[in-house]
């Protein structure tokens, strides 16, 4: 496994478990039966942190759709550099920071974490075109 694929795997695992905190909150707020019912306009709302975590999860999924193919393209063309490895590691840590600061409700830092992740993806694009 390449180092880029290692970071992709960790990112997938992180994205795959982000539903757990807000689902626990949903069960706490609505009860077990209410948490498994279909959503309705009358359902009790999540705690604010849980709603933000749900939005962070959505954002992580949306960005994984971009990050994963970039890493897989690098793997397919058998290209790796210190920059692509660093970009993958930075992307993972930026996504982790993003969900934490989003859940805590820190808007400016959340945007900075998102931007760092975006820039890491840009580095991967440069790697694909062997600019780095």
- The model's pLDDT over 70-120, given as tens digits with 9 standing for 90+, comes to 999 999 999 999 999 999 999 999 999 999 999 999 999 999 999 999 999
Please give the pLDDT value at position 132: 82
Please give the pLDDT value at position 121: 98
Q: How far apart are CA 28 and CA 35, in angstroms?
A: 8
CATH of the domain at 63: 1.20.120.550
Q: What is the dihedral of CA 70, 76, 79, 84, to 10 degrees?
A: 20
The CA-based angle 82-69-62, given to 5 degrees, is 110
Please give the pLDDT value at position 102: 98
* pTM listed for this prediction: 0.95
Q: How far apart are CA 49 and CA 9, in angstroms?
A: 26
Q: How many domains does the chain have?
A: 1
Residue-range definition of the domain harbouring residue 98? 3-128
């Amino acid at each position: 496994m390449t180092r880029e694929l290692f970071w992709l795997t960790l990112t997938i695992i992180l994205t795959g478990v982000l539903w757990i905190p807000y689902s626990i909150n949903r069960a706490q707020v609505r009860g077990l039966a209410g948490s498994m019912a279909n959503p309705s306009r009358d359902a009790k709302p999540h705690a604010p942190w849980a709603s933000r975590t749900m939005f962070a999860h959505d954002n992580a999924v949306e960005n994984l759709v971009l990050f994963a193919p970039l890493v897989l393209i690098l793997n397919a063309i058998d290209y790796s550099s210190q920059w692509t490895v660093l970009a993958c590691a930075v992307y993972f840590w930026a996504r982790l920071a993003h969900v934490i600061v989003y859940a805590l409700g820190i808007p400016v830092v959340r945007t900075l974490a998102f931007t760092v992740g975006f820039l890491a993806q840009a580095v991967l694009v440069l790697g694909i075109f062997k600019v780095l």
